[in-house]
Amino acid sequence: MILSEFKKIKISAIVGAVPSNWTSIENFINDDNRETVEKFSNMTGVKGRYNVNDFQTTSDLAFAAARELLEKKNIELESIGAIVYVTQSPDYAVPSTACVLQYRLGLSKECMAFDVNLGCSGYTYGLNIVASLMNSSNIAKALLLAGDTSAKEKSRKIKTKTANAFRMLFGDAGSATLLEKTDEESYIDSVSCTDGSGFKAIIKPFTGYRNPDGKGVSLMNDIDVFNFTISEVPKMLKDYMKLKGLTPDDYDSLVMHQANLFILKQIAKKTKFPMDKVPISIDTFGNTSSASIPISLIKEYGDLNEDRNIKTLMCGFGVGLSWSLISADINIKDIYPLVKNDDYFLDGYENETDL
């Protein structure tokens, strides 16, 4: 097992943002599908989710979360040495949206900025990447922004057979996480894995340079994804805990990517975590891709404002196929209440024909 260990870096703030528009899954019900939708809701746990407006992108949500974080923590903009943006719904194919975010947030020109194309595993991967950058530099503070607006995309590009399930499952959200160097005793452990032989399990095959003339249809082989998840993910979690001599009793929380409730229950069962240690956000937020772990923490702890450390085991898994864990302590007071924001950035482009 390849293990990344960071001793003097801590997660010192987590903020999540969603748009104000929330729709219930009941809106999908008609005379013909009531039973199917209800069964879907029971199994996945989704009761509804937030949707961005037509003009809003993931980066607008991530920006709102980051701005709130910088204000709440009273962070000097010049002190941020890196901004990494994990998303599969970037503003553009070119350039990296992280560069636009560096500009919008007013961060220093010395700040490193780039995008990472990962989804469900992206938050834990992203923490590993940001902590690694800090570990090998004199960067004292860095931002990880993560999120997706999968629901928006699904409503635009429909593959008939699974369209409704896709649209009901996914929600839109963005997040911002601050990592800081600290002199206190601290640790962040991370494991990040890949099985690219499963690249077709979740794919948009006609969206890049390989097959350029497409409309961007999404494919998901739910059985393959499920099989992968219930075998690889518990194995990684158990192997890590064994290596470190830890058990579920040592943790306050197993914070998982919110794929669907059925999968979360299977992973909890296989790793022997009781469900009361598993924060659930898929009910209100749907599957929010790389924002799902911070959103789950926020739903569970964001309104408590307690000065108390919790020991968390975080775990993302999915598209790639890719999976990753983070083991770290987080102070509950550093997990902030949910931000709702409908603002969007005007980049000055309207019609491609005008160019």
Partner 1 sequence: MEAKEKLEKLEEMFELDEGTLSEDTLLDDIEEWDSMSKLSLIVLLDDDFGKKVTGEQINGLVKIKDILKLME
Phi, psi of 87 (to 5 degrees): -160, 160
222 counts as binding partner 1 under rule CB under 8 A: yes
Shortest distance (Å) from residue 221 CB to partner 1: 6
Determine, following the binding rule CB under 8 A, whether residue 226 of this chain makes contact with partner 1.
yes
CB of 163 to partner 1, least distance (A): 13
Segment lying near partner 1 (by CB under 8 A), choices 108-116, 147-155, 223-231, 286-294: 223-231
For partner 1, the binding residue among 96, 132, 135, 221 (CB under 8 A) is: 221
**How are strands ordered across the β-sheet holding 309-318?**
4-6, 188-194, 322-331, 309-318, 253-256
We find the least distance from the C-beta atom of residue 338 to partner 1, in angstroms, to be 29
Return the residue of 33, 43, 208, 305 that touches partner 1, per CB under 8 A. Answer: 43
Return the number of other C-beta atoms located less than 10 Å from residue 177's C-beta.
Answer: 29
Find the binder of partner 1 among 4, 28, 224, 342 (CB under 8 A). Answer: 224
- Interface characters, 227-256, with partner 1 (x: CB under 8 A): x--xx-------------------------
182 forms part of the interface with partner 1 (CB under 8 A)? no
If binding is defined by CB under 8 A, does position 33 make contact with partner 1?
no
Indicate the residue among 39 and 244 with the shorter CB distance to partner 1: 39
According to the binding rule CB under 8 A, does residue 170 interact with partner 1?
A: no
Stretch that binds partner 1, among 5-13, 38-46, 299-307, 327-335 (CB under 8 A): 38-46
Which of the residues 264 through 323 are near partner 1 (CB under 8 A)? 266
Q: In sequence order, which residues have a C-beta less than 8 Å from that of residue 255 and are 6 or more positions away?
A: 278, 279, 293, 296, 297, 312, 313, 314, 315
Q: Considering beta carbons, is residue 40 or 336 the nearer one to partner 1?
A: 40
Longest Cα separation, the chain: 62
Q: Give the separation between CA 137 and CA 134, rounded to whole angstroms.
A: 5
By CB under 8 A, the count of residues binding partner 1 is 15
Query: Of 231 and 305, which CB lies nearer to partner 1 in the complex structure?
Result: 231
- 202 Cβ contact list (under 8 Å, min separation 6): 119, 218, 219, 220, 221, 225, 318, 319, 320, 321
DSSP H/E element including 22? strand 22-24
**Residue 165 contacts partner 1 per CB under 8 A:** yes
Q: Where are the alpha helices (DSSP H) in 185-259?
A: 222-244
| SS3 category, 115 | strand
CB nearer to partner 1: pick between 22 and 199: 199
Sign of the alpha-carbon dihedral angle for 196, 199, 204, 206: positive
* Rounded (10°) CA dihedral 296, 297, 300, 304: -150
Side-chain half-sphere of 106: how many Cα atoms within 13 Å? Answer: 6
Phi, psi of 246 (to 5 degrees): -110, 155
CB of 354 to partner 1, least distance (A): 44
Residues that bind partner 1 (CB under 8 A): 36, 39-40, 43, 165, 221-224, 226-227, 230-231, 262, 266
